[in-house]
Structures are given as structure tokens and as C-alpha cells.
């Protein structure tokens, strides 16, 4: 069965070119011309990936991304004519998986789609999506962070970052590695987004357990450190 791509783009010329190119590559492509329709089609079609323009009528791309992330972990690649760093960081912090700046080459779009789909499926269906530590559960199936069994509101990228670190306890990751492996885009000159996410996670997890912690390894990066055997299940 072909993988489904939903294009949310108000420029019909761009949308139809993308659709034609991706159809030739074997994707099943649908188009929404505005943000509201995009949210509705995403709920109906359950696509494997969304190409999302930022500048949309009715509901802009940031709002669409935020709405989709309330119920779905579908990979999202943002299409934007804006090159400012903060626009990119805002989209990524809202849960987008990658971004492409207009004008773009179709080959770049295809390469990024394939990279995001590989990354989201790289571990296969048998990979564990739930990690349990003392008083802590990180669940990527339901996209929930549980502390003492109680759900803690956590944006998708924070949860994915914590899951990635906790999947390899005591391993140190550089900021560039985390940007590449969690966000999945080339390092673009500022690692503050990683630092901000770590800071927010620490605020949520401070003093939860004496058996683990998010640790800064100065001059290198971060790790999820086990201080003693947590009885992980």
C-alpha cells in the first residue's frame, strides 16, 4: 500500500507540482488549500506524512501544527518562505520534524520526506515505545509522560528528546547529535533549542527520583544518568 502524504498549501501551483512529483514516486497524495481543511483531512485520511506551509489563510501553519499534535504524532515537514532562525525553531518546538525553505528543489523535498519516514520507522514495529523507571514512564505510543502515574503535559519534541536520552541510559549525546537524531535536520548554527528543551524537562522532573537524572556533561552535551538500578521493566 502506498504511503499517504497530505500537502497543506494554498499556492495551487506549488501544491500541484508537489502532488505530481510525489505521485510519480509512488506516494498517495492529497491536497488541502487552507489550514482548517488541512486539519479536517488529516483526521480523515490519517496520512503517513504532512507537508505543511506556514503562511496559510484561516489558520496558519503554526496553528495547524499545534492542532495536529494534540492528537497525532504524524511526521510534519514545514514549507516556509521565511529563513529566520526563530521561525524554524518555533515550528520545531511545536512538534514539526523538519522544514524546507522556499524556493526548493523537488529532489530535496523527496530526500527529506524519505529521511523523515526512515527516522520515524527506523526501529521497526517491534521497537519498544514505552520506558519505565522509578516513578517515571515515557510512552511514545500514547505520547504521554507519567510521573507517579499522573500525566504531565509535555510537548511532543520534549517527550521525544527524553525518550531518546532514556533509551540509552548513561550515554552522552552532543547537542549536534540530538539535533540530528531527534529533530532530524542539519545543524544550522544554534543549539539553544536543545538547551531550552532540557531546561523545561528538568523543571518537570526535578526531585522526582534519586535513582536517575538529566545530567549536563560540561563541554560535551547531555545524558540520562542512572544513579543506581531503577528496576526498569
Q: Are residues 13 and 75 in the same domain?
A: yes
Structural domain range at position 192: 130-226
168 assigned to some structural domain: yes
Q: Are residues 95 and 194 in the same domain?
A: no
Question: Helices 192-205 and 156-167 sit at what angle, rounded to 10 degrees?
Answer: 80
pLDDT in tens, the chain (233 residues): 789 999 999 999 999 999 999 999 999 999 999 999 999 999 999 999 999 998 898 899 989 999 998 888 899 999 887 666 666 677 777 788 888 888 888 888 988 888 888 776 644 443 557 899 999 999 887 788 999 999 998 888 889 899 999 988 999 999 888 887 787 654 454 668 889 899 999 999 999 999 999 999 998 999 999 986 544 43
53 assigned to some structural domain: yes
Q: Are residues 66 and 42 in the same domain?
A: yes
232 assigned to some structural domain: no
The number of domains in the chain is 2
231 assigned to some structural domain: no
Last residue of a domain, one of 89, 120, 151: 120
Q: Are residues 23 and 83 in the same domain?
A: yes
Strands 173-174 and 221-226, by their bridges, are antiparallel
Please list the helix, strand and coil fractions of the chain in percent, rounded to the nearest 5, in that order.
Answer: 40, 25, 40
pTM score, whole prediction: 0.58
Amino acid at each position: 500500500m502506498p504511503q499517504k502524504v497530505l500537502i497543506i498549501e494554498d499556492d495551487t501551483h506549488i501544491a500541484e507540482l508537489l502532488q505530481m512529483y510525489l505521485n510519480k514516486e509512488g506516494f498517495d497524495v492529497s491536497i488541502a488549500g487552507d489550514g482548517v481543511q488541512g486539519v479536517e483531512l488529516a483526521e480523515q485520511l490519517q496520512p503517513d506524512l504532512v507537508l505543511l506551509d506556514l503562511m496559510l489563510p484561516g489558520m496558519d501553519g503554526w496553528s495547524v501544527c499545534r492542532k495536529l499534535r494534540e492528537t497525532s504524532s504524524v511526521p510534519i515537514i514545514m514549507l516556509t518562505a521565511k529563513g529566520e532562525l526563530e521561525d524554524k525553531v518555533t515550528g520545531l518546538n511545536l512538534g514539526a520534524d523538519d522544514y524546507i525553505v522556499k524556493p526548493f528543489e523537488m529532489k530535496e523535498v523527496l530526500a527529506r520526506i524519505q529521511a523523515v519516514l526512515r527516522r520515524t520507522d527506523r526501529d521497526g514495529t517491534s521497537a519498544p515505545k514505552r520506558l519505565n523507571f522509578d516513578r517515571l514512564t515515557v510512552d511514545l505510543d500514547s505520547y504521554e509522560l507519567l510521573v507517579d502515574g499522573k500525566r504531565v503535559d509535555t510537548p511532543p519534541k520534549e517527550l521525544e528528546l527524553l525518550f531518546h536520552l532514556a533509551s540509552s541510559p548513561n550515554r552522552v549525546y552532543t547537542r549536534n547529535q540530538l539535533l540530528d537524531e531527534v529533530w532530524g535536520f542539519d545543524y544550522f548554527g544554534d543549539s539553544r533549542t536543545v538547551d531550552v528543551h532540557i531546561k523545561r524537562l528538568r523543571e518537570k522532573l526535578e526531585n522526582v527520583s534519586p535513582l536517575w537524572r538529566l545530567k549536563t556533561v560540561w563541554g560535551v552535551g547531555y545524558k540520562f544518568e542512572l544513579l543506581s538500578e531503577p528496576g526498569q521493566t
